Amino acid sequence: MAEEDKVKAAKKKAAKTKAAPKRKAANKTAAKKRAAKKGVSGYGSGSVDVVMSVDQVAKEAASIAANAPTVSELDGMVNGDAFLTIDTLRAGYGKMEILHEFTLRVGRGQSLCLIGPNGAGKSTVLHSIFGFTNIFSGSIKIGDQDVTA
């Protein structure tokens, strides 16, 4: 009886081993079909909740710009003691301008978190501070030292 159980177990294991690659392939195919329906490509799959047209992006950017704080409001946020001052910065890579009239104040002892989608300019702000971009106009000061000169 024990010998029969061993044979059955071996057959069952062999059947599972043969079926596993088929299941994996079927799962990958199903994931690709789901991704294709949503326009997602590349590694893995996921859902796309919001897709904006170029016109919608421009309208959203204009709305954000219209509600941006004024320079005097920015100065008030740092109690007049800005450690980092960025004024109307236009910067980018090569001839491509990424930052357009960007203004920022960070006070001594303050922390800043730059949040935004890919391509919003977060890294370009930091690269500009460190001198890795082309500065077309505007200024960056750390303390009283102009680092754009």
Residue 20 lies in domain: 1-51
- What would the mean pLDDT of 48-76 be, rounded to a whole number? 78
Q: What is the DSSP letter of 94?
A: T
Q: Note whether 126 and 95 are same-domain residues.
A: yes
pLDDT at 141: 96
Write the CATH number for 75.
Answer: 3.40.50.300
Q: Note whether 79 and 123 are same-domain residues.
A: yes
Q: What is each CA distance from 125 to 3, 70, 89, 134, 136, in whole angstroms?
A: 72, 19, 9, 11, 13
Total structural domains within the chain: 2
- What would the mean pLDDT of 59-79 be, rounded to a whole number? 82
Q: pLDDT band for 38, please (50, 70, 90 cuts).
A: low
Residue-wise pLDDT tens digits, 1-22: 577 777 677 777 766 666 555 5
Q: 81, 107 in Cβ contact below 8 A?
A: yes
Q: Note whether 139 and 100 are same-domain residues.
A: yes
Q: Note whether 102 and 37 are same-domain residues.
A: no
Q: 124, 139 in Cβ contact below 8 A?
A: no
Q: 78: helix, coil or strand?
A: coil
pLDDT at 5: 73
Strands in 6-45 per DSSP E: none
Q: Note whether 86 and 120 are same-domain residues.
A: yes
Q: pLDDT band for 96, please (50, 70, 90 cuts).
A: very high
Higher pLDDT, 96 or 29: 96
Q: What are phi and psi of 25, to 5 degrees?
A: -65, -40
> What is d(CA 87, CA 145) in angstroms, rounded to the nearest whole number?
13
pLDDT at 53: 78
Residue 80 has pLDDT above 60, yes or no: yes
Q: Note whether 31 and 97 are same-domain residues.
A: no
Q: pLDDT band for 32, please (50, 70, 90 cuts).
A: low
Alpha carbon of residue 23 to chain centroid: 34
